[in-house]
Amino acid sequence: MNVPTNSLVRAKMPLEMLLRSFFIATISSKKFLLIPALKLLSFFSKPGRSYLFNVDRNPVLHGILKKTFYNQFCAGESKQETKACCKSLTDLGFKGIILTFAKEMVFDHRNKAPEAPAEQAAKAETAATHDPVVEEWRVGTLATVDMIEKGDILALKTTGGGPAVGEAFHRGELPPQQMMDALDEIATKCKERGIQIIVDAESQYFQKGIARTSLELMRKFNREPTVVIYNTYQAYLKNQPKYLQQHLAEAEKDGFTLGLKLVRGAYILSDDRALIHDTKEDTDAAYNGIVEGALHQKLWDFGVSRPFPATNLFLASHNKHSLITAQRLQAQRESDGLPTVPIAFAQLHGMSDEVGFSLLKEQCADGKAPDVFKCSTWGSMGDCVAYLLRRAVENRDAVLRTKDEFNALKKEVWKRLGFGRS
């Protein structure tokens, strides 16, 4: 495959996309613009806003957010919009799309309350055997499967199943049977269509039950030669090694393949800070340590005093250093005939195209480019606004990366205006 250089990709960007990316990069790279933007997004993300501040009901507010933040980071509000956006992303050279239905609940540690829309909470009161919120999530998720192709990936935000599901997750339990049936139906359909599934990691309040649920799905669906399910592990958590060791032990005992999607973690703003590593350096060391261990098939006592279970590694990150180092290590070990695990990569839509394209220029042991995916979210503005807030926070934290992105986009805008060198 011919991989365009990063500047060529920007040169091919439609004008609207270029200007929008430049607008977002301008806000993200200037503190005095980003702080009010974050405050506004945080305000809009709270449920139960009046008409004036309701992002779904107020058409002016909806239009402004749609043309800016939404279109930068999300795929669409309808099937048609979403499919068109997915195509435009794969046309850029990525292996495929990871698509999520945006419905979720975020637990704000400071407010001690899951931020589910008010009507959902009311519906949960009446949910006994048939929960309409689970049904809505099931239908939305199956619609998501219909928007993607063989080889693409479905990502699940399982708290989208609503308060009854969230409560079970918080207790560390599997969700109600209706949700388990929905997950089974979705996984079966995906397996038939050659689509893999990633279960996203969410707020710590829910995470115990989410991880338990995806473990059960891996146990059932990750039987050789297919890996259908990936669970997400958040390296920024101090206790993450404990969970990963438990899951490796389960995979070893029951003979299934562990789908190990590794992220640093996105809920630093809302989760209990004490659970998260004290410094960014500690999070980086945890992330890179797990990657290196998996690629050497030596993690804790796995691969040392006991077998290393079959594992597929999926690195979801914008950290170029972590990803390029991992890719080169994996390729080196494969060409040296040393034990290692399969690896794939993903970045979020609207972020770090530079990183994705740099990866695509790397070579695997067979001479091919690595598998790099672009991950996007679809859903109504109201459902996507918490997601948008997390992306804005990440841009705030990735100061160097957003500055580089801003400078590169500025150069391209200047060139098109006739001021720059071609």
Ligand X SMILES: Cc1cc2nc3c(=O)[nH]c(=O)nc-3n(C[C@H](O)[C@H](O)[C@H](O)COP(=O)(O)OP(=O)(O)OC[C@H]3O[C@@H](n4cnc5c(N)ncnc54)[C@H](O)[C@@H]3O)c2cc1C
The residues of the shown chain that bind ligand X, judged by CB under 6 A, are: 200-201, 232, 234, 236, 263-268, 276-277, 279-280, 283, 316-319, 346-348, 375, 394, 397-398
For ligand X, give the closer residue by CB, 200 or 412: 200
Rounded distance, CA 275 to CA 277, Å?
Answer: 7
Residue 206: φ, ψ to 5°: -105, -15
Return all residues near 380 (Cβ < 8 A) that are at least 6 apart. 56, 77, 102
* Alpha helices (runs of H) in 56-153, residue ranges in sequence order: 59-65, 71-73, 79-90, 118-126, 132-147
Least spacing, CB of residue 116 vs ligand X, in Å? 18
Question: In angstroms, what is the minimal distance from the CB of 267 to ligand X?
Answer: 6
Which has the closest alpha carbon to 69: 55, 90, 51, 59?
55
Q: By the 8 A CB rule, do 345 and 372 touch?
A: yes
Q: State the minimum distance, in angstroms, from the CB of residue 242 to ligand X.
A: 17
Based on CB atoms, which residue is closest to ligand X, 268 or 385?
268
Q: Which residues contact 115 (CB under 8 A, 6 or more apart)?
A: 45, 46, 47, 105, 106, 107, 108, 386
Q: Mapping DSSP to helix (H, G, I), strand (E, B) and coil, where does residue 251 land?
A: helix
Query: Could you tell me the smallest distance in angstroms from the CB atom of residue 209 to ligand X?
Result: 15
Cβ proximity to ligand X: between 54 and 88 the closer is 88
Residue (148 or 268) nearer to ligand X, CB? 268
Report the nearest approach of ligand X to the CB of residue 60 (Å): 31
Q: How far is the CB of 122 from ligand X (least distance, A)?
A: 28
Nearer to ligand X (CB atom), residue 121 or residue 295 = 295
In the complex with ligand X, which residue's Cβ is closer, 257 or 283?
283
What 8-state DSSP symbol labels residue 102? Answer: -
- Cα separation, 113 vs 312, in Å, equals 35
State which H helix or E strand residue 49 sits in: none
CB of 358 to ligand X, least distance (A): 14
Query: Following DSSP, what letter does each residue of 298-359 receive, concatenated?
Result: -BTTBTTTBPPPPEEEEEE---HHHHHHHHHHHHHHHHTT-----EEEEEETTS-HHHHHHH
> In sequence order, which residues have a C-beta less than 8 Å from that of residue 390 and are 6 or more positions away?
266, 267, 269
- Nearer to ligand X by Cβ, of 127 and 294: the residue is 294
- Least distance to ligand X, CB of residue 350, Å: 11
CB of 356 to ligand X, least distance (A): 10
Smaller CB separation from ligand X, 179 or 269: 269
Minimum gap (Å) between residue 145 Cβ and ligand X: 18
Which residues, including other chains, have CB under 8 Å from residue 366's CB and lie 6 or more apart? 334
Both tokens of 379, joined, read 């859903």
C-beta closer to ligand X: residue 253 or 280: 280
DSSP string, 199-221: E----HHHHHHHHHHHHHHHHHH
Q: How far is the CB of 254 from ligand X (least distance, A)?
A: 24
The gap between the terminal CA atoms of the chain, to the nearest Å, is: 25
The token pair that represents 209 in the structure block: 């039950």
Query: 159 or 257: whose CB is closer to ligand X?
Result: 159
H or E segment at 12? Answer: helix 6-12
61 or 227, CB closer to ligand X? 227
Nearest to 114 by CA among 166, 157, 176: 166
